[in-house]
Amino acid sequence: MALDNSPSTATGYIQPDIDVRALAAVLDGEYAGIRDLVRSNLGTHASVLDEADELGVDAFRERVREIVVEMAATGQTGMGFPAEYGGGGDVGASIAAFETLAFGDLSVLVKTGVQFGLFGGAILHLGTERHHETCLPRLITGELMGCFAMTETGHGSNVQALGTVARYDPARQEFVVTTPDDRARKDYIGNAARHAELAVVFAQLEVDGRSEGVHAFLVPIRVDGEPAPGVRIEDDGRKMGLNGVDNGRIWFDGVRIPREALLNRFADVSPEGVYESSIENPNRRFFTMLGTLVQGRVSVGGAGVGVAKVALAVATKYGARRRQFEATSGAEEQVLLDYGLHQRRLLPLVARTYALHFAQDVVRSHLHDVFSGIEDDAQARRRLESRAAGLKALATWHATRVVQECREACGGAGYLAVNRFAALKSDSDVFTTFEGDNHVLLQLVAKGLLTDHASEFEDLDQLGTVRYLTNLAVETVIERTSAHKLLERVRDLLPGGDEWDQEAGLRDSEYQLAMVRFREEHMLAGLARRIKRGIDQKRDPGAVFSQVQDHVIALARAHVERLVTEAFVDKVRAMPEGDEKVALALLCDLFALSTIEADRAWFMEHGRLTVQRSKAISREVNDLCRKVRPVAVDLVDAWGIPPEMLRAPDLVG
Amino acid sequence: MALDNSPSTATGYIQPDIDVRALAAVLDGEYAGIRDLVRSNLGTHASVLDEADELGVDAFRERVREIVVEMAATGQTGMGFPAEYGGGGDVGASIAAFETLAFGDLSVLVKTGVQFGLFGGAILHLGTERHHETCLPRLITGELMGCFAMTETGHGSNVQALGTVARYDPARQEFVVTTPDDRARKDYIGNAARHAELAVVFAQLEVDGRSEGVHAFLVPIRVDGEPAPGVRIEDDGRKMGLNGVDNGRIWFDGVRIPREALLNRFADVSPEGVYESSIENPNRRFFTMLGTLVQGRVSVGGAGVGVAKVALAVATKYGARRRQFEATSGAEEQVLLDYGLHQRRLLPLVARTYALHFAQDVVRSHLHDVFSGIEDDAQARRRLESRAAGLKALATWHATRVVQECREACGGAGYLAVNRFAALKSDSDVFTTFEGDNHVLLQLVAKGLLTDHASEFEDLDQLGTVRYLTNLAVETVIERTSAHKLLERVRDLLPGGDEWDQEAGLRDSEYQLAMVRFREEHMLAGLARRIKRGIDQKRDPGAVFSQVQDHVIALARAHVERLVTEAFVDKVRAMPEGDEKVALALLCDLFALSTIEADRAWFMEHGRLTVQRSKAISREVNDLCRKVRPVAVDLVDAWGIPPEMLRAPDLVG
């Protein structure tokens, strides 16, 4: 029997009736073709989900390698490489493929990312024709396996301080690569423990006794399956998850590589030992090199969204069939998803997943345009790097939170390994800290905002940025972000004049956007003022920055959430009229209002939310949950997750 | 070089200097002896942490059984049983032992809980002398292994609706136990897949064609290692974690057991087939039986606190030695825990862990008093059950959150299995849903508050409770919780009269207590009014309850947080003057204020926090973090976790 908890019909509200295929087409967008190829490949290799549980670490690593190579043969993993070397020549498609691959086993995903994204991407973007010709054709097929040896035990986040050294020996026209101490050993390097023959090694380049900063080199680390002379490799051993990826540690003991092994797109050393670079400033050079690797963050962010989708698909389907407790006398037990609490737990997460999906679309397009030369200037690259960093952080934290909530929402059944949660939880956990620790990434985002993405920023290291803040930028930011100007802009768009934040309809997208924009601008101005005050008091800039770090993180979050909200609103506006648009509009409101609700304390503290309106937003979120409930299963079906990837026959069956 | 981020010294603040051993003695309290025994046993069997990674599932299960039996021989696990059967006769000590055991491998912990807590506890509390004599001596040593077969695939939370049937056959004076369908198979039962010989089976008792509700029976399920006739057992297979515990499914196909196999403390069937019970009302009888098993929830809550301690000990020690990024020019890289953000991430969690520790002390004492007959009446039992349910929920969610935050705070290093996080995360995950799903438990807590723990509550099932709310209780609650009365009480305690919430010092415990008390009372009154309004409008009580479910959960949380705050404040007040008291007072303030801060939106919405004061609380929390920072390592050392249990040599070393 139906409970009286359907949304009020007094307002003439008509429930949308979703065409799942039509909605799926909206979500897949221009990359439906490559996504379907990946779905088909996932289906072909579906047994890997069982094998992850059943095989020992060694056998599972081999199995994952095998699958990666087989997938490579279908063209799936080479989309990002130029056609002339056997690639697909479509950067956007390569990201879309990776996002879709995240529906499956995550060791396969991460090994794919290591081989084609990190290793292949570094050679593509930091190397030149000589490296491309010798490496790309063989690495695209998976014949040449490699690794990306950047992180060291002592340095993960602060890459500029790496300890590995590559000293140029003009007599023999070779570099000598050395690990000076154990803190400088390469660590957590995927593909290193077993499969990599070649490594892209990041090291401090020394030429003629002078340090030129971190550069990348091609170093053979394994010959016929054995470590190359002078190379020591140690297995990182079992990890929380991703045990199909062979992470390891590498030490170099005076390993000699030819002069041509320097990936020399941005800098080179002449045979005689003269260092030359097209980029004068060392910091700018370093960040330019790093910037070419931005696709890694875009990929991981997209994978986070994919992981969230799998978890939510399982939990939503379970919630729509599992019954527990009689709700009304004499009735059958009630379906979980008809409980208000259960809706509250899952449906805002579905909405946020949609929001992140559309934000990922924007970043992927941006990446495609920059790396296809469609829109490629320094400003565009900075914006892309900031967006990629911010979205990676929010999407991967979202994945962690969603997997946890969904597991709990499936109770004890969700704890069995035969369901997806065990693997999702342990495998995706590291997403929040690899390809950049999320907190460090958000600080980068905030610094970009504080310095207004000034081009000077490129020339600054960590400490330099702090110093820079003492100068021009903060003043400019304070000026630019005056709440007054923002409010003027809002006033033109919303009814109510100065009272816009009291008068506008809660479900008016302009209201929602005005709120998240106000928050960001206000936080930015406030933070800039606080830093300026500290500096004016002659306090140590590092200490000032440390004390406002929580504001820094809050600002970056607010910034990314504004971008995500805009992406969702834009998407809905651009859709043709119809039930799918109605459904996504509900979901967009649910996302925007639950986002505002989550930070309602801030809005009240800053005069943008009255107590009454704050409570009204919570009621509206509840009402939206009830309206989304009837289409919840359609919404998760539209993600097009291959059924085998949901596993969990007892939960979703 | 020291950064200028130490707390302001202008106020004459003197940093406390903690004596770790003295603080440890405060924490261990009266159970130092048993805790030290467990610590010593953990050290003896420390290799289990490696074995959990290295052994296959089968071998690890055997190893865990072996360790549990060896620990039993030291007297550690039998503390809760009467001395006459070989136990220690000290209920409180048995919980303290379990809490301490949570520092180690959690498969060992959970198998101990299954064998001695669930299986042994059910026989002790639901059985009578005949069961005690035949079972207790052998189960206390671990010679007789058993399981607790309550949960079914179709019913976890709603235990009253179990499907397994035990029909009395007067002709042969036997019960016939049957699993009518697959939804009624016993599932996720620890010890079932491998080691249990005997099961305590919960089944619907049928006598003379009449259903008498759920009762417990002793059913042999394994003879000489093989399933007993009529018993089918299936392995639940690999789980997310706890793979040293052999969970399984059990079906019964007309299994005959003697009449004496009914655990007959509260009800019996005569040889002729007449049902009799000292408790007339079937619901009350059911909840009385369940209530005797409350120690399970007290144990799991305590284990959650233990898990949080281990994770925080690793992350705090790592944060106090790991350096990354130069903070000031020319300086060494900065220690993570000197960053404001890192303090914000970890130190409020340390404070909350201390708070939960002291709240657990209160519940454990309460349990001890009730089960030792020191204070045992219906009211005391109800209060204990509510406290145990609420604290279990908050402590286990806390553990999940802490493990995640701490893993991330240790970066990639935290992801390696050689550290504790992988095991802690996957093993403790299920704590939030076993021994009662946390959301269901919090609803129980809230219902207790709504019905004022009226004795009539005991006679009501789920649906009956909702109906009950339509009557007397809600009116009474509304009357009792008038904000007016509470404010009158507060006014006498705090300066400022009606302006107490503006005038009192933020670090005044009476202010903090008044805030959390006000929140609870206000939420309770508001919820009661909303339910009454729905009922008055003749809406379906089930639907009304479903719509206010998020308020129900919020109320229960507020209630438990009030109890936790009181426990911490009381503890600090009772301590002798000295540096340990000063340090714990800082920590207590940090806990109370960060708790208020986390819910500051609610306090603003309900007129108890101005915008200015809300911001002041956030500043105070930051300042408290800086004050706690210098003693952070001492604070985690005082938990007395055996060093081997921290593993992670590279992190804490």
Phi/psi at B148 (nearest 5 deg)?
A: -120, 100
Q: What is the pLDDT of residue A289?
A: 93
Task: Give whole-number Cα distances, B194 to A58, B186, B197, B224, B225, in Å.
Answer: 28, 15, 9, 11, 8
Q: What percent of chain B has pLDDT over 90?
A: 78
**Disruptive mutation site among B1, B3, B4 for chain A (greatest number of A CBs within 10 Å):** B4
pLDDT greater than 50 at residue B377: yes
Q: A542, B3: Cβ pair inside 8 Å?
A: yes
Residues of B in contact with A237 (CB under 8 A): 416-418
Q: What is the pLDDT of residue A546?
A: 78
Q: Which B positions 134-163 lie with beta carbon below 8 A of chain A?
A: 151, 153, 155-158, 161
Where is mean pLDDT largest: A284-293, B164-173, B279-288, B434-443?
B164-173
Residue ranges for chain A with pLDDT beneath 70: 1-11, 327-331, 452-476, 478-486, 653
Q: What is the pLDDT of residue B484?
A: 67
Smallest CA–CA separation between A422 and chain B, in Å? 4
Q: What angle do CA B105, B109, B111 make, to 5 degrees?
A: 115
In B330-481, alpha helices (H):
340-371, 378-409, 421-428, 438-450, 462-469, 472-480
- pLDDT, tens digit, 9 for 90 and up, residues B241-281: 999 999 999 999 999 999 999 999 999 999 999 999 999 99
Length of chain A: 653
How far is residue A111's CA from residue A103's CA, in Å, rounded to a whole number?
14
Residue of B nearest to A626 (CA): B547
Q: Which B positions 573-632 lie with beta carbon below 8 A of chain A?
A: 600-601, 604-607, 611, 614-615, 622
Amino acid at A625: C
Q: Which B positions 431-490 lie with beta carbon below 8 A of chain A?
A: 432-434, 437-439, 462-463, 467
**Disruptive mutation site among B430, B550, B555 for chain A (greatest number of A CBs within 10 Å):** B550
Q: A408, B611: Cβ pair inside 8 Å?
A: no
Q: How far is CA A391 from the centre of its chain?
A: 5
Q: What is the pLDDT of residue A470?
A: 54
Q: What is the pLDDT of residue A541?
A: 72
Task: Give whole-number Cα distances, A427 to A237, A303, B377, B416, in Å.
Answer: 15, 12, 49, 12
Q: How confident is the model at residue B12 (pLDDT cuts 50, 70, 90)?
A: confident
Q: What is the pLDDT of residue A433?
A: 93
Question: Six-digit token pair at B41?
Answer: 């046993």
- pLDDT, tens digit, 9 for 90 and up, residues B463-514: 555 555 555 566 667 666 666 666 777 777 777 777 888 888 999 999 999 9
Cβ burial B240-271 (10 Å sphere, 16+ → b, else e)? bbbbbbbbbbbbbeebebebbbbbbbbbbbee
pLDDT greater than 70 at residue B68: yes
Smallest CA–CA separation between B411 and chain A, in Å? 6
Nearest to A402 by CA among A383, A370, A424, A379: A424
Query: In chain B, helix, strand, coil percent, each to 5?
Result: 60, 10, 25
Q: What is the pLDDT of residue B652?
A: 80
Question: B438-450 vs B472-480: helix axis angle to the nearest 10?
Answer: 80
Write out the DSSP string of A212-229. EEEEEEEEE-EETTEEPT
Write out the DSSP string of B263-284. --SSEEE-TTS-EEES--SHHH
Of A340, A414, A430, nearest to B412 by CB-CB distance is A430
C-beta atoms surrounding B331 within 10 Å: 14
Q: B601, A622: Cβ pair inside 8 Å?
A: no
**Residues B51, B99, B435, B561: which is the catalytic one?**
B435
- pLDDT, tens digit, 9 for 90 and up, residues A418-449: 889 999 999 999 999 999 999 999 999 998 88
Q: What is the pLDDT of residue A5?
A: 44
**Disruptive mutation site among B604, B614, B624 for chain A (greatest number of A CBs within 10 Å):** B604
Smallest CA–CA separation between A72 and chain B, in Å? 28
Confirm if A242 and A430 have CB atoms less than 8 A apart. yes
Q: How far is CA A474 from the centre of its chain?
A: 29
Residues of B in contact with A411 (CB under 8 A): 156-157, 433, 437
Confirm if B379 and B387 have CB atoms less than 8 A apart. no
Q: How confident is the model at residue B7 (pLDDT cuts 50, 70, 90)?
A: very low
pLDDT greater than 80 at residue B542: no
Residues of A in contact with B463 (CB under 8 A): 326-329
Rg (CA), chain B: 26
Q: How confident is the model at residue B6 (pLDDT cuts 50, 70, 90)?
A: very low
Residues of B in contact with A539 (CB under 8 A): 4
Compute the count of residue pairs across chains A and B with CB atoms less than 8 Å apart: 247
Q: How far is CA A244 from the centre of its chain?
A: 21
How far is residue A34's CA from residue A87's CA, in Å, rounded to a whole number?
13
Task: Give whole-number Cα distances, A206 to A176, A221, B531, in Å.
Answer: 10, 21, 74
Q: Which residues contact B198 (CB under 8 A, 6 or more apart)?
A: B119, B135, B144, B145, B146, B147, B218, B219, B220, B221
How far is residue B30's CA from residue B40's CA, in Å, rounded to a whole number?
18
Q: What is the pLDDT of residue A507?
A: 96
Question: Six-digit token pair at A487?
Answer: 């409010």
Cβ burial B14-28 (10 Å sphere, 16+ → b, else e)? ebbebebeebbebbb
Confirm if B623 and B380 have CB atoms less than 8 A apart. no
Q: B5, A550: Cβ pair inside 8 Å?
A: no
Least confident of A62-71, B141-150, B332-341: B332-341
A647 touches B at CB < 8 Å? no
Phi/psi at B254 (nearest 5 deg)?
A: 60, 40
Task: Give whole-number Cα distances, B248 to B61, B234, B254, in Å.
Answer: 13, 6, 19
Q: What is the pLDDT of residue B453?
A: 56
Q: B155, A604: Cβ pair inside 8 Å?
A: no
Q: What is the pLDDT of residue B544?
A: 81
pLDDT greater than 60 at residue B83: yes
Q: What is the pLDDT of residue B184?
A: 97
According to the 3-state scheme, what is the secondary structure of A231-296? EEEEECCCECCCCCCCCEEEEECCEEEEHHHECCCCEEECCCCCEEECCCCHHHHHHHHHHCCCHH
Q: What angle do CA B459, B377, B120 make, to 5 degrees?
A: 85
Confirm if B551 and B523 have CB atoms less than 8 A apart. yes
List beta partners, residue B203.
Answer: B215
The residues of A annotated as belonging to the active site are: 435
Pairing of strands B198-207, B165-169: parallel
Burial of A130 (0-12, 13-18, 19+ CB in 10 A): exposed
In A537-578, alpha helices (H):
541-547, 549-574
C-beta atoms surrounding A646 within 10 Å: 21
How far is residue A484's CA from residue A474's CA, in Å, rounded to a whole number?
18
pLDDT greater than 50 at residue B9: no
Q: B426, A344: Cβ pair inside 8 Å?
A: no
Nearest to A510 by CA among A420, A448, A573: A573
Q: What is the pLDDT of residue A7?
A: 46
Of B4, B415, B549, nearest to A540 by CB-CB distance is B4
Task: Look up the ipTM and state it.
Answer: 0.92
Residues of A in contact with B240 (CB under 8 A): 407, 415-417, 421-422, 425-426
Amino acid at A637: D
Task: Give whole-number Cα distances, A324 to A413, B158, B561, in Å.
Answer: 14, 6, 28
Tell me which H or E stretch contains A207.
strand A198-207
Nearest to A141 by CA among A212, A74, A238: A74
